[in-house]
Amino acid sequence: MARIDGKSDGDAGLLTRAVFRGAKARAAGRVPEPLRIMAHSPAVMWSAGLFELGIARAKSVPPALKGLAQIKVASLVGCHF
């Protein structure tokens, strides 16, 4: 549970709602809470999105190994996503 509430769809601007729709399509039909919290600061939300896009486009490591690394890091830091 986060200490602050994330942006709701009604409070979000046009571009933020578009980002929410894209995230909803990728994340099993719901917007992840960290994205809603990052939406309070558009600069943080966009920079995190660009970082994830860069990671997804990296070709030096096979996708299967990237997935295993993400799962391992999530388990080490206690992330429930």
* Within-domain flag for 36: yes
* Within-domain flag for 44: yes
Distances (CA, A) of 38 to 47, 58, 65, 73, 78: 10, 24, 27, 20, 19
- Count the domains in the chain: 1
Q: Average pLDDT for consecutive 10-residue bins of the chain (81 residues)? A: 77 84 84 88 89 85 88 87 64
* Within-domain flag for 2: no
The pTM for the full model equals: 0.65
**What pLDDT is recorded for position 68?**
92
* Within-domain flag for 71: yes
* Within-domain flag for 52: yes
* Structural domain span for residue 18: 14-77
* Within-domain flag for 6: no
